[in-house]
Amino acid sequence: MTILTFTLAILGTSLIAGLLGALTGLGGGVVVVPVLALLFHVDLRYAIGASLVSVIATSSGAAAAYVREGFSNIRIGMFLEIATTLGAMVGAYLTAMVSTKAIGIVFGVVLLYSAISSFRGTHEDAVPKHTGGLADRLRLEGEYPAESGALQAYVAQRVPAGFGIMFLAGGLSGLLGIGSGAVKVLAMDRAMRLPFKVSTTTSNFMIGVTAAASAGIYISRGYILPSLAMPVMLGVLGGSLIGSRILIRARVSTLRIIFAVVIVALGIEMIYSSLTGKL
């Protein structure tokens, strides 16, 4: 395979990854890392480095559209970024101390857990509950365009639980280079009871800051190669822009199915490849 062919193949794959990442709130890295490691045989740590750059591009590309359409909640996102940024720095620091095999297994387990959680049934976007707790004091609430076209109000629930899960999500982002969108979406959707579209779009808004916090550590260790990161970034950015337009009109049930199918397949493959020494 020539350098040009290799670059075009990565560009095309990253385009698809960015599309899926924007639709599900996962971030393109959740697809890019396994594909680079399993299909293109890129060293896992260099794949993670390129993924972090692409995650920043995904957030930049999709977040603006989601904010403009009224889906992303900037206030909630900025609050939760405190936890994810701290976690990302811890995760990035641990990367050099953990074996590639262990990282691959952790990656796969996180994906499978995310898929299982998404199949546990959906919660209804009920009438907002003001409990007088942390959510009310910080005004962690908002409105979003529901499928009926009307604006639907919501209020974050169980904020401390969501904040704790976000710290874990940040740690996984720094360790795995995936933006940890899967865990972020589940934290907001399940723990904080935010509407699914608000969860996915706010996740896209957040993942760039989380990735930037750990990318600096990867750069200092030489794990980010411009020749690899550039086509990955351009592909993911293009895919995320397309995905952001599709998501606004997509059905939530369809997004959940895409979310689960993609990460189950990748999770199983990552665990198998790690255990058999293919990574």
Rounded Cα distance between 255 and 80, Å, is 23
Is pTM beyond 0.85 here? Answer: no
pLDDT at position 9: 92
| Rg of the chain taking only CA atoms, in angstroms | 18
pLDDT at position 228: 93
Rounded Cα distance between 159 and 128, Å, is 14
Rounded Cα distance between 274 and 279, Å, is 6
Rounded Cα distance between 93 and 98, Å, is 10
- Average pLDDT for runs of 10 along the chain of length 279: 88 86 68 83 87 76 72 88 88 79 80 68 56 79 80 87 88 72 75 83 78 80 89 86 75 70 79 79
> What is the sign of the dihedral through the CA atoms of 228, 96, 58 and 25?
positive
Q: Which two tokens stand for residue 17?
A: 């990854």
